[in-house]
Amino acid sequence: THFAYEKGYRYPDQGGLNDLRPDKEKYLDMTHILVRLDQGDSVCYTVRELTARTAVRVTYCCQQEAEAEISCGPQEESVCFDKTEQGQKTVLTLEPAQEAVVRIQGKQGSLDLKSIEFVPEV
């Protein structure tokens, strides 16, 4: 698992000694950073106090088709992601619980995760 910048994003190079200085504006802008999952890589997200059924929705991009295994406890889904600049997919539904750990593991290809949302169903 590693981080990558969004396609087309250019890192703000301030030049000289400014690159050595910890700067809030420079280091806290995480909106252009993606989590890249290659085959065998995985990430886990913990959510607490789920009071209703909750959909797990990911925003992603792929340079080629990719496959990932999404799991939470006994639930396990193999999900295919199409080649796209930016896509969104609901990958799992969680039941109410005090705590749930969602694991996403790359199975094939390379998957860039832009965001993961936990959306209560109404």
Write down the pLDDT at residue 33: 81
CA angle at 5 for the pair 56 and 61, rounded to the nearest 5°: 45
- Note whether 84 and 16 are within 8 A (CB): no
- Note whether 51 and 121 are within 8 A (CB): no
Over the range 48-72, which residues count as b (16 or more CB within 10 Å of their CB) and which as e?
eebeeebebebebbbeeebebebbb
Write down the pLDDT at residue 19: 58
Instruction: Tell me the pLDDT of the chain (122 aa) as tens digits.
Output: 677 767 766 666 656 555 565 555 555 566 778 899 999 999 999 999 999 999 999 999 999 999 999 999 999 999 999 999 889 999 999 999 999 999 999 999 999 999 999 999 87
Structure token pair of residue 11: 């890192």
**CA dist list (Å): 83 to 13, 36, 47, 62:** 30, 14, 29, 5
Q: Which domains does the chain have, with CATH numbers?
A: 2-120 (2.60.120.260)
Paired with 102 in beta bridges are: 45
Write down the pLDDT at residue 34: 86
Write down the pLDDT at residue 10: 64
